[in-house]
Amino acid sequence: MNIIVCIKQVPAKDAPLSIAGNWIRESDIGFEMNEPDSYALEEALRLKEKHGGEVIALSMGPERVKQTIKEALAKGADRGIHIADDNFAQLDPLGSAKSLAAAIQQQKHDLVLTGLQSDDKGFGQTGVLLASLLDVPHATIIMAIEVDGQKMKLKRELEAGWFQHIECPLPAVLTIQSGINKVRYATLKGIMAAKKKEITTIARESLGVSVEPTQRVEKIYVPTKTKKTEFLTGTPKEVAGKLVEKLKFEARVI
Amino acid sequence: MKILVITEHRQGKWNNTSFETLAAAQQIAKDTSSAVSGLVIGKGVAGLANELAAKNVAEVLLVEHDLLEAYTPDGYCVALSQVISSAKPDLVLFPHTYQVRDFAPKLAAMLGKGMIGDCVGYRNEGGKLIFVRQMFQGKTAADVTFQGAAPWFASFQAGAFRSDLVAAHPSGKVPVNSVSVELKAEQVRTKPLDLFKEAKSAVDLTQAPLIVAIGRGIKAPENIPQAEALAKALGGEIAASRPICDEGWLPMERQIGSSGQTVAPKLYLALGISGAIQHVVGMKGARTIVAINKDQNAPIFEIADYGVVGDIFEIMPALTEALEKAK
């Protein structure tokens, strides 16, 4: 079973963001693997361990995303594909998906996995768009995968604690919900082995897809507050005392 | 402009966010002198369509087919792409539910269009619609515009508009127009099976008046007893954001947010929770929200009544002690 995992590199969770027009100043911060994608990678590795085949880590962006591909290789992916595009942040969801789909079509594969959304833009559309562009079935927000020959039985998460089982034929695209598994760490052996693994770089323009935007982020900004927050300051003891007072006599909730 | 609202229901019951989106559509229509239509899709859903026809809309489209009885992304996309091609709306609006996330981007792509998902509001700037959505887990907002020709697709986040503001029709009812679609069994490639809930959760957080919730800031499972001691001193229940339950540090049944429980307690004390939108939708209805976080820019402070910028490991024990004393 050959699995392609689409992995995005996003600003580190605790990175202080400084806004520059419709994006952020990238030079100021660190980057990491998009957390939902790390669950998708783990699921791919587990499926490979059970059913054989290879896992390809696919990522798009500037040179720095190679670091995230290397991390995937260290965890056990067999090879990596880097779609190089310094202007990746300016692509809309459809433009990104078209580029990924073009690279995916060049590879033999049975299954495409990705996280349910990215922690930066959070559109949550890539997997669904890939299915449409590759003309294969899909299912999203998946919490369990059982492969049985040419079909899968999936557990899809719905809202408010509900789930649904779904039967889906292969090939397919699935988006993976965080928490589906416990993500492994890269071992020293894995990190050493990754050095010998291949990363193929493809320039995005060479894929020959039109990325005419369907939407445009005009600007990003710190959201305006909807509520007036009263900040309490002082030593921990003072703050605790003030807070109990407020909750008792002002908010009257305790 | 013609606006079409795609409504959602499950097992014969409305998903109430459909009416939030209808309220958004009615407001946009007012701002832009547009007309709103509603759409109900499924099988045996004429009753829902009739109910929708009593709202202030121009018409209701009823899309029924045997293969639409249970939701599938393929069935919905094939059917709705036909309806949109013939009805020619300029703007197609959805509630941003898990189901919409599952099919709407594909529907838009089939028509060569894009979708602006998970919007929290909009602005009309001289006839140009600007959609506002969050990025970076709620740390920033973004103004997004459509490029290229209509139809445009957008979805609104739960709670972004108030469903009780939906205007009823001024003089009775509008017509319900059935639209027939062509759909073949082989076009529906996935097969939906049983709907189920996991073992009934032992704790019903929706009934808890006081909740102490922990997020990533708790750092390690061995720190959880400190938060539990605080919850005990307060007489409240312990809860968590998704990552904590994903790690298995607290059981899934204690998860608050879009995939967990939605609560509206008297007091919600958020410890080390940044306030990602998936969490906030599950607790923003709390009467009083207290947030304690080391990052003064954490989005949780946007909805907090009381905020403390500081180290939860210093404040938790101090607060536990102060609560014990105040008893």
Contact call for residues B271 and B292 (beta carbons, < 8 A): yes
For residue B108, which residues of chain A lie inside 8 Å, CB to CB? 94, 214
Give residues 222 to 241 of B whose Cβ lies within 8 Å of A.
234-235
| B-interface mutation test, from A32, A90, A215, A239, most B Cβ less than 10 A away | A215
Partner A contacted by B295 (CB < 8 A): yes
DSSP strands (E only) in A75-160: 79-84, 111-115, 138-148, 151-157
Q: Chain B residues with CB inside 8 Å of A227's CB?
A: 302-305
Question: Which positions in chain A touch B74 (Cβ < 8 Å)?
Answer: 137
Q: Give the closest-approach CA distance of A14 to chain B in angstroms.
A: 9
> Which residues are registered as beta bridge partners of B124?
B129
Give burial (CB, 10 Å; 0-12/13-18/19+) of B69. middle
pLDDT tens per residue, range A175-192: 999 989 999 999 999 999
pLDDT band at A85 (very low <50, low <70, confident <90, very high): very high
pLDDT tens-digit profile, chain B (327 residues): 999 999 999 888 999 899 999 999 999 999 999 999 999 999 999 999 999 999 999 999 999 999 999 999 999 999 999 999 999 999 999 999 999 999 999 999 999 999 999 999 999 998 899 999 999 988 899 999 999 999 999 999 988 898 888 999 988 899 999 999 999 999 999 999 999 887 655 677 888 899 999 999 999 999 999 999 999 999 999 999 999 998 899 988 899 998 888 888 999 999 999 999 889 989 988 999 999 999 998 999 999 999 999 999 999 999 999 999 988
B-chain residues near A94 (CB < 8 A): 108-109, 114
Residue B96 backbone phi and psi in degrees, to 5: -85, 70
- Structural domains of chain B sorted by starting position, each given as residue range(s) with its CATH number in brackets: 2-187 (3.40.50.620), 205-326 (3.40.50.1220)
Question: CA-nearest residue of chain A to B246?
Answer: A179
CB of B221 within 8 Å of any CB in chain A?
Answer: no
Write the CA distances from A126 to B85, B138, B164, integer angstroms. 24, 20, 34
**pLDDT of res. B199:** 63
> Could you tell me if B168 lies within 8 Å of chain A, comparing CB atoms?
no
Q: Which of B118, B297, B307 sits opposite A231 (nearest CB)?
A: B307
Residue in B97, B113, B308 closest to A243 by CB: B308
Classify A98 as helix, strand or coil. helix
- Determine the average pLDDT of the residues in A154-178: 93
DSSP 8-state class, residue A224: P
Residue B200: predicted pLDDT: 58
Contact B148/A at CB under 8 A: yes
CA Rg value for chain A: 21
B196: which chain A residues are within 8 Å (Cβ-Cβ)? 162-165
Q: For B222, phi and psi rounded to 5 degrees?
A: -70, -10
Interface check B165 vs A, CB under 8 A: no
> Looking at the complex, does the CB of residue A217 fall below 8 Å from at least one CB of chain B?
yes
Backbone dihedral region of A54: left (phi > 0), alpha (psi from -120 to 50 degrees) or beta? beta
Question: Do A254 and B267 make contact, defined as CB atoms within 8 angstroms?
Answer: yes
The reported pLDDT for the residue numbered A65 is 97
Which pTM does this prediction carry? 0.88
Q: Does B195 touch chain A (CB under 8 A)?
A: yes
Provide the ipTM.
0.91
For chain A, what percentages of helix, strand and coil (3-state, to nearest 5) are there?
Answer: 30, 30, 35
CB atoms within 10 A of CB B239: 32
Residue A112 banded pLDDT, cuts 50, 70, 90: very high
How many residues can be counted in chain A?
A: 254
Does the distance separating the beta carbons of B135 and A247 come in below 8 Å? no
| Minimum CA–CA partner of A134 in chain B | B106
In this structure, how many other beta carbons lie within 10 angstroms of the beta carbon of residue B224? 17
Q: Say whether B109 and A129 touch across the interface (CB within 8 A).
A: yes
User: What are the distances in angstroms from CA B326 to CA A237, A241, A243, B19, B270?
Assistant: 13, 9, 11, 44, 20
Question: Is B135 within 8 Å of A93 when comparing Cβ atoms?
Answer: no
Residue of A nearest to B98 (CA): A158
pLDDT of residue A58: 98
CA–CA separation, B234 and B236 (whole Å): 5
pLDDT over 80 at A226, yes or no: no
Pairing of strands B152-156, B91-95: parallel
- Supply the pLDDT for residue B327: 81
Return the closest-CA partner of residue B302 out of B140, B143, B162. Answer: B140
On whether any CB of chain B is under 8 Å from the CB of A141, the answer is yes
Tokens of residue B254, six digits: 């204690």
Determine contact, residues A151/A169, Cβ cutoff 8 Å: yes
SS3 readout for B128-142: EEEEEEEEHHHCEEE
Q: Give the rounded percent of residues in chain A with a pLDDT score beyond 70.
A: 100
Which site among B8, B96, B116 would you substitute to test the A interface, given the most A Cβ atoms closer than 10 Å to its Cβ? B116
Per CB-CB distance under 8 Å, the chain B contacts of A129 are 105-106, 109
Question: Is any Cβ of chain B less than 8 angstroms from the Cβ of A25?
Answer: no
A3-207: CATH class: alpha beta
**DSSP for B150-207, written as a single string:** SPEEEEE-TTSS-GGGPPBPTTS-PPEEEE-----GGG--SEEEEEEE-S--S--GGG
Q: Which residues of A touch B277 (CB under 8 A)?
A: 122
Angle between helices B98-110 and A126-134 (to 10 degrees): 40
- For chain B, counts of helices (H) and of strands (E): 8, 17
Query: Distance from B172 to chain A by nearest Cα, in Å?
Result: 34
